[in-house]
Amino acid sequence: MDLRVICTIAVAYLSGSVLSAEVAGTLLGKRELLQLSEDKNPGTVNAFKYCGFWCGVLTLTGDLVKGFLPVYLYLHAAEPPERWALPLVMAAPVIGHIFPIFHRFHGGKGIAATFGVLLGLCPYDMPLVLFAAVFVLLSVPFRIDPTFYRTWIAYLLTLAAMAAVKVAAPVFVGFCGITAVVCLRLHHSREPREKLEVKLLWTH
């Protein structure tokens, strides 16, 4: 394997392992508030919910950037990217966020980091548009609760949509890897698993 690719994947994983919620919470003196969440998830949603607006904004920005930069820089480096390596570069920041080496391999769910990864594919924006559209669909006109199930379904529906529109093969494989890791994280999550509910826009 090319040394440049190995270094890129390693840096992408390590950047993913830096949990933005922990950093933002520490900077704003609210890190301990993250422990109040039921699932102990150091992610964007809990940062907003338990630590306030600015902590949430910083967390969201950090999670997007750590997904965006490795993919974008790899695709736009001076040397042409290896197509076979792109799936690994895409998955690395999300794996780092979910299983961070700096936090005993206990991290967040990787949703914001996934958005960052897909944003890093620009100007190829179809995967990002599909992922965003599915999340909007499952959150507004058809709201699925709790979020545990919404996340599962959103990733799987996006994967199906990508297959249907035939996105570039390396991108599809990369998102397959991301989906597998996210589903594994959800399977072992402490998040409450109440009965699945689907509510229409006018009923919630």
CA dihedral 16, 39, 185, 100 (to 10 degrees): 30
If pLDDT is split at 50, 70 and 90, which confidence band does 202 have? low
Q: What is the DSSP letter of 84?
A: G
- Note the pTM of the prediction, 2 decimals: 0.89
Cβ neighbours of residue 142 closer than 8 Å, sequence gap 6 or more: 198, 199, 200, 201
Is 192's pLDDT higher than 70? no
pLDDT value at position 47? 87
pLDDT for 25: 86
- CA-based R_g, the chain, Å: 17
What's the gap between Cα 197 and its chain centre? Answer: 23
The pLDDT, as a whole number, for residue 29 is 85
Mean pLDDT, rounded, for 10-26? 92
Judged by average pLDDT, the poorest of 57-61, 95-99, 101-105, 146-150 is: 146-150
